[in-house]
A and B are shown apart, each in its own frame.
Chain A
Amino acid sequence: MVSTTTPAVDGWFTTGDEPTLLASRCTTCGDVVFPPAPDPAAAFCRNPRCDGDTVETTALSRRGTVWSYTDAQYQPPEPFVPPQAEGAAYEPFALAAVELPEGIVVLGQVAQGYGVADLRVGAEAELVVETLHTDETGDRTIWRWKPVVEMGEEADQ
């Protein structure tokens, strides 16, 4: 069987070299919602002063600033699917909440190889797509936040 790479959730993000999160935008007032509405034709706007009932899919900005961050030193419980092979040790991962220019803060795990020491509130982060876990169909991917390392800082690492 050929193993494939598919998103762990349908319709929430694009893949490729410059991946983006996909949000719903109200065609009446422009309010943006993530995760996107499951059925754009039967959505309802969350802005209390708007009675819009149609949304379009829009790509969110790929870069934002860190609102806050933390990590999971212990393996989260189900329905989390541990990424490691059975019997292998759990590896802690970091997580960041990133504020995008659209005025929305979105949670995401932090890219492989980065931890809380690489983050601070107000720093820049960029969207990437990486493998969350592997199941019978192959790799299942998820969006993640990667700290943007400035030129000078990179030399220090």
Chain B
Amino acid sequence: MSSSNGVVVAGVGMHPWGKWGRSFVQYGVHAARAALADAGVAWDDVELVVGGETVRNGYAGYVAGSTFAQALGWNGSRVATSYAACATGAQAIDTARARIMAGLCEVALVVGADTTPKGFLKPNAGERWDDPDWLRFRLLGMTNPMYFALYARRRMDLHGATQEDFAAVKVKNARHGLANPHARFRKEVSVADVLASPVVSDPLHLLDICATSDGAAAVVLVSEAYAARLGLSEPVRVAAVSTVTPTFPNTVMDMPMLATDSTAAVGVGELTFKQSIAVAAYEEAGIGPDDVDVAEVYDLSTALELDWIEDLQLCKPGEAEALLRAGDTTIGGRIPVNPSGGLACFGEAVPAQALAQVCELTWQLRGQATGRQVEGARVGISANQGLFGHGSSVLLAR
């Protein structure tokens, strides 16, 4: 990518995660204003608003882009709305970035916000016999944590991981998030606390599994020329956005499906879907896993963080437990993972979460992550995956 059409993260902002009982629009506007203030960009200058859709908040949620634009006060900007489940934020960033790179605009605001109910996430009401997300509950009682548990069990039976290892991920992330003003849970947790919490889906305990939260995050993206006019020196740049889908046959059991693709006609490919998400990001950026200083990965469960570390090639398959035990993924270690505290400290606010990862990486690369700073971080990568084959990885560099 030539530097002339690069894209810069000019500003980031969040509304603290929690259970606030307010409208997602309020959270989104709060985050958007914080990001604009951080960037020093006037709302009137924003030419594109991309909203991360929320499926739980009626029509306003389905048209999130225009909902946020109207709430901020119509300024004539273009709008777009993205939905890619947990990967929504990355897809929204991808849309904004593409328009800037194409020269169609110079300033874009990306916002995601959600209000989530208590308990297991479940499908919307109604009978839908052609919808795998409905069928998996109806026919199997298959909740999200049960999918996380399948992956966790494989780590145990194939790589010798233990429930204590999983608990150690929670302990680390809880400590990381202690000083994060945007985190919902800011409390030290011990291995014994995790193991004493009830088993939800064997082998995962309640404290291994992320909660669902209200929250919002926003990112202001600008062209290089606009960044120069803003006077930003050495800004954080978007080096890559990977929103790839799987390559057939997808042979790893994926939420919310009832079965994998088969290898009856085409054999197993070289990379799993999750591996391919990272590879696409590294290739696009021309940056390798050895260059990464910090990672924000989607720890829907503690065990899943270990999977992501390997999928991002931060270590070899089966070695994430060793990395964890050596303290390498702790702040101060070789490759800190989830310095924000991750989903363990936030809980998931679906359309905001991939943007929250980008906010944290931006603060880290600017050296502004007070109390949780990864010293000298210059390259950061995020990773997550949305239901129905949505890849999500954003690589930032300074």
Cβ-defined contact, A68 with B258, below 8 A: no
Q: Is there contact, CB below 8 Å, between A70 and B201?
A: yes
Number of interface residues of A (CB under 8 A): 51
Pairwise interchain contact B265-A77, C-beta atoms closer than 8 A: no
Chain B contact residues, CB within 8 Å of chain A:
119-120, 122-123, 125, 127, 129-130, 134-143, 146, 149-154, 157-158, 198-204, 248-249, 251, 253, 258-266, 268
Contact with B along A83-101 (1 / 0, CB 8 A): 0000000000111010000
Given the complex of chains A and B, what is the CA–CA distance between A107 and B253 in angstroms? 9
| Max count, chain B CB within 10 A of own CB: residue among A9, A29, A35, A95 | A95
Q: Identify whether the interface residues of B are mostly helix, strand, loop, or mixed.
A: loop
- Contact check, A33 vs B262: say whether CB atoms are below 8 A apart: yes
User: Is the CB–CB distance between B202 and A34 below 8 Å?
Assistant: no
| Residues A71 and B137 in contact in the complex (CB < 8 Å), given A78-B122, A102-B264 | no
Question: Which residues of chain B come closer than 8 Å to A49, judged between CB atoms?
Answer: 266
Complex Cα distance, B36 from A120, in Å, reads 52
Chain B residue with Cβ nearest A119: B153
Once the chains are docked, how many angstroms separate the CA of A116 from the CA of B146?
Answer: 12
Partner of A47, one of B142, B201, B248: B248
> Does A128 count as interface, using CB distance less than 8 angstroms?
no
A61 to B80, CA, bound (A): 47
Q: Is A71 a contact partner of B201 (Cβ separation < 8 A)? A: yes
Bound Cα distance from A34 to B258, whole angstroms: 8
- Whole-angstrom distance between the Cβ of A57 and the nearest chain B Cβ: 14
Determine whether the beta carbon of B123 is less than 8 Å from that of A79: yes
**Do the beta carbons of A35 and B258 come within 8 Å of each other?**
yes
Check B262–A32 contact: CB distance below 8 A: yes
Within 8 Å CB of A80, what residues of B? 137-138, 141
Given contacts A9-B129, A97-B253, A121-B154, contact A79 B137 (CB under 8 A): yes
| Residue in chain B with minimal CB distance to A107 | B258
Is A31's CB under 8 angstroms from B266's CB?
yes
- Contact partner of A105 among B136, B158, B260, CB < 8 A? B260
Q: Is A77 a contact of B264 with CB atoms below 8 Å?
A: no
A40 at the interface (CB under 8 A from B): no
Contact B258 A73 (CB under 8 A): no
Give the Cβ gap from A63 to chain B, nearest Cβ, in Å: 16
Residues A107 and B142 in contact, CB atoms below 8 Å apart: yes
CB-defined contacts of A107 to chain B, threshold 8 Å? 136, 140, 142, 253, 258-259
Pick the contact of A70: B122, B135, B146 (CB < 8 A). Answer: B146
* CB pair A106 B266 closer than 8 Å: no
Closest chain A residue to B247, Cβ basis: A48
Residue contact B262 to A103, C-beta cutoff 8 Å: yes
Q: A149 near B: Cβ within 8 Å? A: no
Q: Is A43 an interface residue (CB 8 A)?
A: no
Do A105 and B259 form a contact, CB below 8 Å, given A26-B265, A70-B150, A79-B138? yes
Determine the distance from Cα of A23 to Cα of B261 in the docked complex, in whole angstroms.
12
